Chains A and B, each alone.
Chain A
Amino acid sequence: MDSPFGLLAELTYRCPLACAYCSNPVNMADYTDELTTAEWLRVLAGAADLGVLQFHLSGGEPLLRRDLAEIVAGAHGLGMYTNLVTSALGLSRTKAEELRAAGLDHVQVSVQADDPALSDRIAGTPSFRRKIAAMGLVKELGWPLTVNVVLHRRNIDRVAGVLRLAEDVGADRVELANTQYYGWAWRNRDALLPSRAQLEAAEVVVRAARERLRDRMDVLYVIPDYYSRYPKPCMSGWASRMLTVTPNGDVLPCPAAQSLPLPRASVRERSLDWIWTRSPVMNAYRGTDWMPDPCRTCDRRDVDFGGCRCQAFQLTGDAARTDPVCHLSPDHGLVARAVDAANAGSRAGDPPLIPRPHRAG
């Protein structure tokens, strides 16, 4: 069995933003009993023993955890590379300096668009100017900065402006991530899915920017899997390289897997080592033995691992089916119909976005 390289810590699902594309679970009330500082430090120790080298502090908004610097210091003390994934709301100078002293290695700040009004509208709260200021602070304190923008039907036409913004703030990396339809985002799929023409135009801009910025900035582009022939190699295979711990201590192969009907495994009840090696949730789709046709005999089974179990479950009700994104899947029509709808008719007929109601607590 492989040992995991990365741990994604979803420290809280509380968040000051209300993005319609949020992939966190819909049932947030199940996650309010958050792990304590001591519990997170115990998780970190277990993760280090398992071989985890990278620690991603995410959420929700991780800055809402008052003990964030303590958790960072714990990971840093274990030699892990620490990565804060944040909206930057709440990243004051004092907080930033505290995190710098705790050993935080890298900061990823989200922004919702390059245009302040549009960004604020998508985020559901005035936030653009604070985000830009926080990006400046990140650079001033000497951190490497990744700017993350989730792309969808309402902002993908502005990708050139988004790249310019990332360049202007001096980002080391920019991550242009097409929306993935999990959690709350699933409710908004039809309002978020871009058209083929939108995607093609954006990809021309991204390719040109990659060439132009080659020496200065990494341009990462997460493809929209609804438009690809083969599924994404989700998580590099189920419970292979990464694990996720949710705010209340559930351990999952990925954050979306909370939606699957699998038995829970909590760090409050079991060691991380037991969960990684022995728990039903981690072993459900490990390797290739679980695969149905057409994956079972496909020569890409070790390339894309059958795609995403959560997407298969969401679209077909059965997590063990081939990801319907794959053109070889017997369920591919489910994806093709959504794509057809996204390419029919005018933008004026788009369904409204339903913002995610969050309690920042």
Chain B
Amino acid sequence: MDLATGPRLARHVRLAFDRTRDRPVLLLPETVVVLNGTGAAILRLCDGRRSVEEIVAELGTEYAAVSEDDVRGYLSRLVARRCVEPADG
């Protein structure tokens, strides 16, 4: 799937922080996906307006050595699980 136009969280998905377990999470109707810090940082930037390149560039100001391939791979896996959708999809 083409992610070039700006990924965003699927409509049924909400990014939240779980205080009890001290981890960022994705909340879905019947599932909780526990995230790591980097994953949450990527998803916070998925607002449908930023392109993947822009997301990678912004992450680069916060994290050393952000690989565009890794970000694309991460998002593609979440697209396959229908947690993320491309803006024009």
**Chain A residues in the interface with B (C-beta under 8 A):** 3, 5-6, 49-51, 53-54, 79, 81, 83, 105-106, 108, 142, 144, 146, 172-173, 215, 218
Contacts and interface: CB of A to CB of B under 8 A. Distances in A.
A108 B16 contact: no
Contacts of A142: 11
A195 B11 CA distance: 37
Interface stretch (B20-28, B47-55, B56-64, B65-73): B20-28
Given A106-B12, A144-B29, A173-B29, 12 more contacts: A5-B32, A51-B19, A51-B21, A53-B16, A53-B18, A54-B30, A81-B14, A105-B12, A108-B29, A146-B29, A172-B11, A215-B1
B82 interface: yes
Nearest to B16: A79
Contacts of A6: 32
Query: Top 3 A-B pairs ranked by shortest CB distance?
Result: A51-B20, A144-B12, A81-B27
Nearest to A143: B11
B35 to A, nearest CB: 13
A103 to B, nearest CB: 11
Contacts of B18: 51, 53
A254 to B, nearest CB: 14
Contacts, number: 47
Interface of B: 1, 10-12, 14, 16, 18-21, 25, 27-30, 32, 82, 89
> Main SS of the interface on chain B?
loop
A215 B82 CA distance: 8
Contacts of A3: 20-21
A142 B12 CA distance: 10
A271 to B, nearest CB: 16
A215 B89 contact: yes
A105 B14 contact: yes
Contacts of B14: 81, 105
A299 B4 CA distance: 45
Contacts of B27: 53-54, 81, 105
A106 B29 contact: yes
B12 A172 contact: yes
Nearest to B12: A144
Given A3-B20, A173-B12, A53 B25 contact: yes
A218 B11 contact: no
Contacts of A50: 20
Q: Which of A5, A50, A142 has the most CB of B within 10 A?
A: A5
B1 A53 contact: no
Contacts of B20: 3, 49-51
A50 to B, nearest CB: 7
Nearest to B81: A218
A137 B28 CA distance: 21
Contacts of A105: 12, 14, 27, 29
A81 B11 CA distance: 13
Nearest to B89: A215
8 contacts: A53-B25, A53-B32, A54-B27, A105-B14, A144-B11, A144-B29, A172-B12, A218-B82
